[in-house]
A and B are shown apart, each in its own frame.
Chain A
Amino acid sequence: MLIKRSSIIKSSEITSEDNYLNRRKFIQSSTLIGGSLLSSKLLGANLPQEPFAELDDVKSSLYSTDEKINNFLDVTSYNNYYEFGTGKDDPYRNGKDFQSRPWSIEVTGEAEKTGIFDIEDFVKPYLLEERIYRMRCVEAWSMVIPWVGIPLADIIKSFKPLSSATHVRFETLHDRERMPGQKSRVLKWPYREGLTMAEAMNPLPLLAIGIYGRALPNQNGAPIRLVVPWKYGFKGIKGIVKMSFVKSQPKTSWEMAASNEYGFYANVNPKVSHPRWSQARERRIGSGVWASKQPTQMFNGYGEQVAHLYDGLNLRRHF
């Protein structure tokens, strides 16, 4: 590619790293001092229409890692989002003009409250949180990304799922005109993903609407996407338009494409290799040409929070 990568994103669109890090410090200290004040104001999340627009009132989270954050350019130019093409820079290039408004999310299935909600109303009742998570791709590379979003569990609770619901299933927008990658049959569209209810109610999964304190860029799944840090990145479904509470384990896109290589659980597991490559180590993006790969951690290092979900489950069989 003969495009200068640094020219991919206008400098005005980038929060400089220094600026961003300072802002984070400020947010952290202000939440420490005035945290109760903020939450008592019951502001609610305001979702700006434009990608890259700054998000207000984001609180920090104890679940964040203090590892070095990847730079904005890497996070926004190296993506797997087949709806915009299979190349790593396709989502940036082909997603540039994607209009993510108006946007609504349909909630269906085994729940007391269902319906179609405008994205703004969908996120309105919640406070935004910043969660800095490790992201481990099934292709054996990883990044550290500062997401902004809402804990999935909080959103699910508000819909009061019935006890008959065992899983929650998500779908991406299916629109060949707006998502040109869907003209290819590389995957079955729409992209679908799912979690067990126990997984979904864990405090870690996030419905993200931003990165680096700004609204999600299109290539990262605007306007709303899932982040499940202990699972391979492909579980993080982007551009969500539908959330269903269902009574059995849903079929997921990569499982449908190659069930011997990608399972429903897709937990990060260094001991279970992909049939074609090892998952024992990973390349941290941004670590430079001479850095060696680092060992992959079980559940991507989130075992303390999630290992109990899989007690008694054969993780080699249920990969």
Chain B
Amino acid sequence: MLSSRTARKFLKPPVFLICSLPFFLIFTDAFELTGNLGANPIEEIQDRLGNWGLRFLLLTLMISPLRQITGQIWLTLFRRMLGLFTFFYILMHFFTWLILEQSLYIPAITEDIITRPFITIGFLALLILLLLTITSTNKMQRKLQKKWHKIHRLVYSASILAVWHYWWQVKKDITEPLIYVVILSILLSYRIWIKYLQKNK
């Protein structure tokens, strides 16, 4: 069993670096140092950031079940960090859309958010993640007490909206969004199952 202290000291910094890697790879690829961004760099940046946002979201949701199954308490140390990385990647995904894809052209941005359902739900997911980020500090947690858990249960809605947003955006080949759907379903069913077990104790 790894103590929380050792995990904090020795695992947190490298995990932080690993989580930032996909972001830095976008820059090194943009300058063709590590790879490249292809013929449509804006689409590539947007897709990569969105994909990493989804991956971090699912990783965040994996922490609690993993801790419960393995009994490794220290895992919880990484939940907030992964959650904040989720928000970071999704926010960058949103900024890429706003600045590079739409060139801050307000009429197109509002039209898309209002009339394109897949953008509407993606935007909703972003707002939820924003709320979770703001209330993620220890101070907020103490201040909100019981309400904090209620608010942070919204992460389940956000994850459904986010995966749905991806599914809806794909032209025809749904293989990749399907992978996310399967993982998310497992993570959510696990929680429902635990709840059911507790109720029938």
Is B41 among interface residues, defined by CB-CB distance under 8 A?
yes
* Chain B residue at smallest Cβ distance from A184: B173
A186-B173 in contact (CB<8A): yes
Taking A4-B36, A276-B118 as contacts, is the C-beta distance between A289 and B41 under 8 angstroms? yes
Is B105 among interface residues, defined by CB-CB distance under 8 A?
yes
Cβ-defined partner of A289 (8 Å) among B34, B42, B168: B42
* Chain B residue at smallest Cβ distance from A257: B172
A56 to B27 alpha-carbon distance, docked (Å): 43
B48 to A: closest C-beta gap in Å: 11
Is A33 among interface residues, defined by CB-CB distance under 8 A?
no
Q: In the complex, what residues of B have CB within 8 A of residue A289's CB?
A: 30, 41-42, 45, 100
A1-B42 in contact (CB<8A): no
Cβ-defined partner of B39 (8 Å) among A73, A184, A278: A73
Stretch in A61-69, A107-115, A279-287 with 4+ CB within 8 Å of B: A279-287
Is A260 among interface residues, defined by CB-CB distance under 8 A?
no
Q: In the complex, what residues of A have CB within 8 A of residue B40's CB?
A: 78, 88, 141, 283, 285
B116 to A: closest C-beta gap in Å: 6
Q: Produce 1/0 per residue, A81-93, CB < 8 A to B.
A: 0100010110000
Q: Produce 1/0 per residue, B99-117, CB < 8 A to A.
A: 0111101001001100011
A141 to B32 alpha-carbon distance, docked (Å): 23
B35-A2 in contact (CB<8A): yes
Is B169 among interface residues, defined by CB-CB distance under 8 A?
yes
A19 to B115 alpha-carbon distance, docked (Å): 47
Taking A187-B172, A277-B116 as contacts, is the C-beta distance between A290 and B39 under 8 angstroms? no
Interface size class, chain A: 20 to 34
Taking A292-B103, A293-B103 as contacts, is the C-beta distance between A258 and B39 under 8 angstroms? no
CB contacts under 8 Å to B, within A40-75, are 73-74
A276 to B43 alpha-carbon distance, docked (Å): 16
Q: In the complex, what residues of A have CB within 8 A of residue B102's CB?
A: 293
- Give the size of the chain B interface in residues (CB under 8 angstroms): 28
B38-A1 in contact (CB<8A): yes
* Chain B residue at smallest Cβ distance from A71: B39
A258 to B172 alpha-carbon distance, docked (Å): 9
Q: In the complex, what residues of B have CB within 8 A of residue A281's CB?
A: 108
* Chain B residue at smallest Cβ distance from A289: B41
Is A5 among interface residues, defined by CB-CB distance under 8 A?
yes
B191 to A: closest C-beta gap in Å: 31
CB contacts under 8 Å to B, within A285-302, are 285-286, 289-290, 292-293
A286-B39 in contact (CB<8A): yes
Is A118 among interface residues, defined by CB-CB distance under 8 A?
no
B39-A2 in contact (CB<8A): no
Is B171 among interface residues, defined by CB-CB distance under 8 A?
yes
B39-A86 in contact (CB<8A): no
* Chain A residue at smallest Cβ distance from B170: A86
B112-A276 in contact (CB<8A): no
A151 to B: closest C-beta gap in Å: 28
A4-B35 in contact (CB<8A): yes
A293 to B36 alpha-carbon distance, docked (Å): 21
A139-B171 in contact (CB<8A): yes
A276 to B105 alpha-carbon distance, docked (Å): 19
CB contacts under 8 Å to B, within A246-273, are 257-258
B39-A74 in contact (CB<8A): yes
Is A37 among interface residues, defined by CB-CB distance under 8 A?
no
Q: Produce 1/0 per residue, B29-55, CB < 8 A to A.
A: 010101110111111010000000000
Interface residues of B (CB under 8 A from A): 30, 32, 34-36, 38-43, 45, 100-103, 105, 108, 111-112, 116-118, 168-169, 171-173
Task: For the A-B complex with A73-B39, A277-B116, A283-B101 known, give 11 more contacts whose Cβ atoms are closer than 8 Å.
Answer: A1-B36, A4-B32, A4-B36, A5-B38, A88-B40, A276-B168, A278-B108, A278-B116, A281-B108, A289-B42, A293-B103
A/B interface sample: 23 pairs, CB < 8 A:
A1-B38, A2-B34, A5-B36, A6-B32, A78-B39, A78-B40, A82-B172, A89-B38, A186-B172, A258-B172, A276-B116, A276-B168, A276-B169, A278-B108, A278-B111, A280-B108, A281-B108, A283-B42, A283-B43, A285-B40, A286-B39, A289-B30, A289-B41
What are the 7 A-B residue pairs with the smallest beta carbon separation, nearest first? A78-B39, A292-B103, A86-B173, A74-B39, A5-B36, A2-B35, A186-B173
